[in-house]
Amino acid sequence: MVTGYLDHLTVERGLAQNTIASYRRDLRRYTEYLAAAGVRGLREVAESDVAGFPAALRRGDDDHPPLSATSAARAVVAVRGLHRFALLDGLVGNDVAHEVRPPTPARRLPKAIPVESVVALIEAAGSLEGPRGVRDRALLELLYGTGARISEAVGLAVDDLDRGQSTVRLAGKGGKERVVPVGSYALRAIEDYLVRARPALAANGTGGVRGGALFLNVRGGPLSRQSAWSILRTAAERVGGIEPSTISPHTLRHCFATHLIDGGADVRVVQELLGHASVTTTQVYTLVTVDRLREVYATSHPRALT
């Protein structure tokens, strides 16, 4: 049953392999939990069994450490999907997981750094001598200028960039594509990279430019996600006033969204640019802005202080 459900998610829903792997681990843990409770199949599962699963995940046991609320919530989503799939396939008569809600993770607001700090990061990345510095600057300009995930940026082919229209085609989660505009700073940095740096990097490869990847490593192959993150972290180490441990692969994406909303962009537009399936995901950036406004008000208004 679990195998059929995972095949459905892979083929019909097109979920990413990392997501499938996480669901497989979650559902293996679920079947172990049911077996320990003496439940021998989905037809025997009661709502109380499903409801007890997230609590068991949060407690942990001799073989498993306690899970965070976020990880436990993901596991419950996987379990709810399994039971819904079994109902639609006619394998069970009712969906006992329908009313079980995932635990609510503590709200974590995205960490955005000020515009001047972003500029300092980009300048630091570009300060490296030779083709690598030109490439690193182009990468960070693209990440900040488009809101692309790091995985989307390193997955770009040269042909995904339309320099005439100043747009780039990004392949997001689940294989969903979106076309987003590329700002003039990012476009100039990429043009510079394509002329001055990419040919030199490509020449290091044994078989020319493999796969037409836009961003190449020093061996002429596609730049990896881990290398891109290292570029960002190394740039942060060169900049004073930025704690490198606070920089993550999503930092420039968070900055892109937060700075757009600070500048008056509609949340629906930002949703489309980020490739979020639901506007609820994007609305967290409006909370960031409200918190910043509250901080400015508290420190600036003569009647705000108590």
Distance CA 205, CA 106 (A): 46
At 119, list the tokens. Answer: 């500029």
Strands 167-171 and 177-181, by their bridges, are: antiparallel
Distance CA 264, CA 111 (A): 19
* Residues marked as catalytic: 149, 173, 250, 253, 276, 285
Which amino acid is residue 247, in one-letter code?
Answer: I
Q: CB of 275 within 8 A of CB of 172? A: yes
* Residues 17, 178: Cα–Cα separation, whole Å: 20
From 250, 238, 253, 254, select the one nearest 125 (Cα to Cα).
Answer: 238
* Cβ 42 vs Cβ 19: under 8 Å: no
How far apart are the C-alpha atoms of 71 and 66, rounded to whole Å? Answer: 10
Q: What is the distance between the alpha carbons of residues 110 and 28, in angstroms, rounded to a whole number?
A: 31
Residue with tokens 């073989």: 63
> What is the rounded CA–CA span in Å between residue 94 and residue 116?
56
